[in-house]
Amino acid sequence: MSDRPHTAGIAYVRHDMLSEQPAPSTSRGIVAWLRESLFSSIPYTLLTLLCLYILYVIIPPMVEFLFTDAVWTGADRAACATQAQGGMQPDGWFGACWAYVGAYTNQFVYGRYPDAEQWRVNVVAVMFFGGLVPLLIPAAPFKRENIVFMAIVFPVATLILLTGGHFAVGGLYVPLLIAAVLVLAVVFAFAKLSESDPMPGLRSAGLLFVALAVLLFILGFDFGLRPVGTSRWGGLLVTMVIALTGIVASLPIGIALALGRRSAMPIVRFASIVFIEFWRGVPLITVLFMSSVMLPLFLPEGVSFDKLLRALIGVALFSSAYMAEVVRGGIQALPKGQYEGAMALGLNWTQMMRKIILPQALKLVIPGIVNSFIALFKDTTLVLIIGLFDFLGQIQSSYSDPAWSSPVQSLTGYFFAAFIYFIFCFSMSRYSQFMERKLDTGHKR
């Protein structure tokens, strides 16, 4: 081989690598992005222009109404009415009246809960968020203790704080004692007949009744709190009470129904299916009508429920049917091997469900539970139709106050309500999406 390269006849040969060049200016930066995603073809350009037009139609009037033309301070309706309407705004003025919302904020949150007692609601709120936030953060410790707190301590404390406690439960001790004796006898007889050790059953039944007795004692104890009737509750307080009670009550009922629907026992399966399909087939508002006008008829003479309690029962029944379907989704998503594995280990049905199936299934459906909570939270607005004052109902009832009545009052109130509901629901749906990504362990099929 000679030293001379074979390329002698070629005019120019590059011997070193070229450094990387940036992409041509037409395919990078803001211009390229605009061309790619907004103006790539004539139809796209037209669509983009249409969108811009829609924004132009919607955004400026909204900003004007909500911010630039809005009234932020004022003492009464004069601040938010035009001169023709007896106020101080120029004629043709149309803006939000935030002064009215400011004057009513307390009512929107607490309803007609007495001012001196509102600290109790605040304590409940602090307990709730203090218990909930660590529960929602997957990495936070003490999950088990936290769940016990939220499932047992918090509801009892809330009930006592909000109503004032000191319930007339004195007459219930004797029935409880009779029930305890009866149940213990049945458990004992059952164990004897099935030739097994009666002690574990007796012990757990006994513990249950001791717990019930303690609960009765606490409910009847006079903590010195002033009683506040549910007719004075309102606003965000009622919304939260209904939504939370609904979801908390619907979880155990829903799990039971879901298991019942997948049970091999025909009567149980049939009853579960009928229950679930019935509540899922009717609108919530008819359920609320039913619980408010029909339920009292089914109770014996002299027994009557509070209006709020009746609504709570309706909501709980309704949402437990939906919860059952959510939980069933989780149970069905587990591969069959989980069941076979549990059976092969010799676990009985209860053990299999408690230790193998439900923990996995419930974990899978956390996003579904959050979603049904969002739906329930939105559905709580329906209670205003049966005359309860939830957040929206409280806002609506404030329209009858002549001190603030003006043409912009209702729109302002509705925008405020929409904003608050949006904040709650949107953050919950974001959380549910976060959990969905986190829980996606490849189990789902």
Partner 1 sequence: MAVTDVTPNGPGSAHDDSAPKVALLNNPEIRGWLFQVVLAVVVAYLAYSGWKNMNANLQAAGIASGWAFLNNNAGFAISQSLIEYNQASSTYGRVYLVGLINTLVVAVIGVILATIIGFLIGVARLSKNWMVSRLAAVYVESLRNIPLLLQIFIWYFGVLRLLPQPRDGLDFGFFGLLNNRGYFAPKPVWGDGAIYTLYAFIAACVIAWGIGRWARARQMATGQIFPAFWVGFAVIVLLPVIVFLAAGAPLTWDVPVAGGFRPKGGMTIIPEYIAMLVALSTYTATYIAEIVRAGILAVSKGQTEAAHALGLRSGPTLRLVIIPQALRIIIPPLTNQYLNLTKNSSLAVAIAYPELTSVFAGTALNQTGQAVEIISLTMLTYLTISLLTSAFMNWYNSRVALVER
DSSP reduced 3-state for 111: strand
CB of 81 to partner 1, least distance (A): 15
The contacts found for 149-153 with CB under 8 angstroms, 24 or more apart, are 151/248
CB of 185 to partner 1, least distance (A): 15
Q: Which is nearer to partner 1, 218 or 268 (CB)?
A: 268
Angle between helices 98-110 and 118-136 (to 10 degrees): 80
Residue of 322, 131, 428 lying closest to 436 (CA atoms): 428
CB of 8 to partner 1, least distance (A): 48
Q: Which is nearer to partner 1, 7 or 348 (CB)?
A: 348
Q: Which is nearer to partner 1, 167 or 434 (CB)?
A: 434
Q: Which is nearer to partner 1, 167 or 339 (CB)?
A: 339
Q: What are phi and psi of 23, to 5 degrees?
A: -60, 155
CB of 357 to partner 1, least distance (A): 8
C-alpha–C-alpha distance, residues 277 and 271, integer Å: 10
CB of 401 to partner 1, least distance (A): 16
CB 260 within 8 A of CB 332: no
Q: Which is nearer to partner 1, 10 or 297 (CB)?
A: 297
Q: Which is nearer to partner 1, 169 or 428 (CB)?
A: 428
Angle between helices 154-163 and 118-136 (to 10 degrees): 160
CB 237 within 8 A of CB 113: yes
C-alpha–C-alpha distance, residues 362 and 369, integer Å: 9
CB 78 within 8 A of CB 405: no
Find where tokens 């009234």 sit. 71
CB of 203 to partner 1, least distance (A): 19
Q: Which is nearer to partner 1, 15 or 336 (CB)?
A: 336
CB 264 within 8 A of CB 245: no
CB 87 within 8 A of CB 81: yes
CB of 441 to partner 1, least distance (A): 19
